[in-house]
């Protein structure tokens, strides 16, 4: 019985060996596991690159002081003309007109608000305008002095009318 068992075991082992050798491909090759990608392929959008266009720097010429002054005088002249105010050959006279217009506007606001604190603040502005006016009268020439006098008479009438409303 021992022999019988030995023979049966040998036969089983040979049968297993012979059954493996029936496939000639498996004898010569090692089994390799093939990996299949089960995820769908992600397609990246193609971005069309635009060529980089370099902008040319615009070189601004620096303005001279004379050019800046001329532009500011022109701007001031246009501003006064648009408001129907007189213009002068002398820049300080036009600056005075602009400052005086601001003073009259502030005076009007103070009268309408009946605010005495605003009147106190306006007294300093009035003193500065008086000094500026005296200096201007010495520097202006004949026709411009007359133009300035007419302007001041009109503004005095406006201020008197505002003061009467208080």
Question: Average pLDDT in the 32-59 region?
Answer: 67
Whether the Cβ atoms of residue 135 and residue 93 lie closer than 8 Å to each other = no
Q: Where are the domains of the chain?
A: 89-164
Residue 51 has pLDDT above 80, yes or no: no
How far is it, in rounded angstroms, from Cα 89 to Cα 126? 24
How far is it, in rounded angstroms, from Cα 129 to Cα 99? 8
Question: Average pLDDT in the 14-29 region?
Answer: 55
Q: Which residue has the higher pLDDT, 25 or 120?
A: 120
Task: Report pLDDT digits (tens) over 60-91.
Answer: 777 787 777 778 878 878 887 888 888 888 88
How far is it, in rounded angstroms, from Cα 152 to Cα 81? 17
Whether the Cβ atoms of residue 159 and residue 107 lie closer than 8 Å to each other = yes
Burial class, 97, CB count within 10 angstroms (exposed 0-12 / middle 13-18 / buried 19+): buried
3-state helix, strand, coil in the chain (%, to 5): 65, 0, 35
54 φ/ψ angles, rounded to the nearest 5 degrees: -85, 130
23 φ/ψ angles, rounded to the nearest 5 degrees: -95, 105
Calculate the average pLDDT of the chain: 77
The model's pTM? 0.57
């Amino acid at each position: 019985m021992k022999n019988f068992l030995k023979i049966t075991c040998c036969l089983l082992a040979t049968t297993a060996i012979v059954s493996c050798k029936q496939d000639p491909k498996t004898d010569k090759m090692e089994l390799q596991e093939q990996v299949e990608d089960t995820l769908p392929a992600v397609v990246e959008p193609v971005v069309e690159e635009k060529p980089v266009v370099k902008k040319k720097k615009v070189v601004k010429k620096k303005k001279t002081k004379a050019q800046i002054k001329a532009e500011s005088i022109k701007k001031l002249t246009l501003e006064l003309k648009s408001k129907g105010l007189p213009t002068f050959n002398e820049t300080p006279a036009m600056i005075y007109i602009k400052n005086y217009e601001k003073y009259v506007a502030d005076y009007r606001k103070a009268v309408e608000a009946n605010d005495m604190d605003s009147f106190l603040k306006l007294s300093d502005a009035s003193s500065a305008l008086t000094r500026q006016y005296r200096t201007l009268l010495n520097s202006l020439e004949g026709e411009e002095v007359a133009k300035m006098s007419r302007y001041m008479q009109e503004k005095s009438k406006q201020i008197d009318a505002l003061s009467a409303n208080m």
